[in-house]
Chain A
């Protein structure tokens, strides 16, 4: 749909813009053209009104020949052909109008006088059309910048949305229910252990609660969260849960989005270890190399296990957050081979500048 015709308000402003043009045309017809002011006005006003609509057609060639992606010959050819065609139509309209007017009193002889002004009229038609072309390019640029702005808004909203969902999904209620049930069991059989588990669970919950306000945390802090989670799960699963870690010490101070690793470890527990009668291992490896963090988390699983609820919600969320936060600069791959499930992630180590930018994003949104 044409942007001017799409809204009545825009159309009215557009037509108002044509009033001075009609005035100039009337001046041309009256002073060098030799018509009376009355005659010039009667020709110029209807003619410009009609031509205003003809010039709206310039939108389509403008759309087809974008300024930044068209060659100069093609650009010139398209618009000159358009201008000549529009102006020819303009002349035709002028002659039809004049012939109609010549029949009435006070306009006698206007047609013969106007035929002398035809070159002048043709030139005016071409110029007016080219003016419309310029106007439409401005419109296109405005539209494009508005769309770009909307895209940026949309992307940052999506990113924020994924962050919020990650935080909301964070404390899996079933993890909480099962842990409370374990505490309940221990209160009778081993009260000190029950107390220890209360403290561990409290520690984990406190750490997750604080993460809502932070756009990024050092990897060491994320690892503490993972350890707090595993300490609780270790009481539930006992020897069935075996964790192996190989963390590059140089990676520990790298800034990462909060809740990057913990959901992956939880996924490995819920869909891996928990489905294995004898339990299984989870291996977490982190390397810092060439400005990138390379994270691999691998776990054993039972390929024939019954399907579980919440399947992969944690994984999908981590993937979306990485895409939203580092578009084109992070990778996420989940693969299952035999009885092993592996998630491999790379993400850029955030520089201080990027971190500052990331902090500003939520503030911009509140404006």
Chain B
């Protein structure tokens, strides 16, 4: 996204602490080109505001109610330039891996703030490359190894659902999306099935088909289907196709 000269930079501030937002507001007030279009106090509000107001720049706290900063970034996609603002220095590497423009540590000093804003402007004017990968893939890449997600946030327009992985029955690939089946409903999420597979605990979820990942706790039986293929019957009654490779993996798991 590029910003033409003379246009304002639409900015959203996300932090659950009023005083922390106040500091940013004060620093930003010296820049006439900045237009603060929203302030949000939690992750849900942030996702909603970004979807509705399409900002150019987001200042994003990491530890907040409802959704953390990384989950917010995962849901809002690669549109706006993001500057993380946090008291924790332990997230810095992850933040740059998800192509945040910058990472500001609280307490924030004006020189550091100005440098971050300058970087954001460069990103917005196209001088700094934008992330080539969708944010979700970047977020997956930045997850610490051997640490699997325990919940999956899903966005539908401006609203957000949280699916705890224990309540996910199965996932089905649909072009650039995955459909997540949970409690009788399907939620679409822009993500590849492979990156979803990588984020789930392999002792609980198994890729049984090119297009399907199943929650192993839900599998009640495996039945032959046709000449040499199978279907997995879930406790909900749903039948999912099982590929030959998937069947071998499923057998290996069930025989353990």
Contact = CB atoms under 8 A, between A and B. Distances in A.
Interface of A: 173-174, 177-178, 180-186, 188-189, 235-238, 274-277, 302, 304-309
Nearest to A306: B68
Given A188-B26, A302-B66, 6 more contacts: A174-B87, A304-B151, A304-B164, A306-B43, A309-B63, A309-B90
Contact of A177 (B18, B22, B90, B106): B106
B41 interface: yes
Contact of A178 (B64, B66, B68, B106): B106
B65 A274 contact: yes
6 contacts: A186-B19, A277-B65, A304-B162, A306-B71, A308-B63, A309-B90
B105 A177 contact: yes
Given A186-B19, A274-B16, A309 B88 contact: yes
Q: Which 7 residue pairs are nearest across A and B when measured between Cβ atoms? A: A177-B87, A181-B106, A306-B68, A185-B19, A181-B107, A180-B107, A182-B19
Given A184-B107, A185-B26, A276 B88 contact: no
B199 interface: no
Interface string B1-27: 000000000000000111110110010
Contact of A305 (B41, B65, B90, B105): B65
Given A185-B23, A276-B65, A177 B42 contact: no
B108 interface: yes
Contacts of A307: 150
Nearest to B22: A185
A178 B22 contact: no
Nearest to A183: B107
B87 A277 contact: no
B106 A277 contact: no
B87 A182 contact: no
Contacts of B88: 174, 309
Given A174-B88, A188-B26, A274-B16, A181 B68 contact: no
Contacts of A275: 65-66
Nearest to A178: B87
B138 interface: no
B67 interface: yes
Interface in B7-57: 16-20, 22-23, 26, 41-44
Nearest to B69: A306
Nearest to B17: A236
A185 B106 contact: no
Contact of B66 (A181, A305, A308): A305
B87 A181 contact: yes
Interface string B96-126: 0000000001111000000000000000000
Given A274-B63, A276-B65, A181 B19 contact: yes
B58 to A, nearest CB: 17
Contacts of B41: 277
Nearest to A238: B18
Contact of B22 (A189, A237, A304, A305): A189
Contacts of B150: 307
A181 B105 CA distance: 9
Contacts of A306: 43, 63-64, 66-68, 71, 151
B101 to A, nearest CB: 20
A236 B19 contact: yes
Contacts of B23: 181, 184-185
A180 B17 CA distance: 13
Contacts of B66: 275, 277, 302, 305-306
A279 to B, nearest CB: 9
Contacts of B65: 274-277, 302, 305
B20 A182 contact: yes
Contact of B17 (A174, A182, A277): A182
Contacts of A173: 87
Contact of B107 (A177, A236, A305): A177
A249 B164 CA distance: 45
A198 B175 CA distance: 56
Contacts of B63: 274, 306, 308-309
Nearest to B16: A274
Contacts of B68: 306
A174 B90 CA distance: 11
A313 to B, nearest CB: 14
A305 B16 CA distance: 14
Interface-centre pick from B66, B90, B150, B164 (highest chain A CB count, 10 A): B66
A237 B16 CA distance: 9
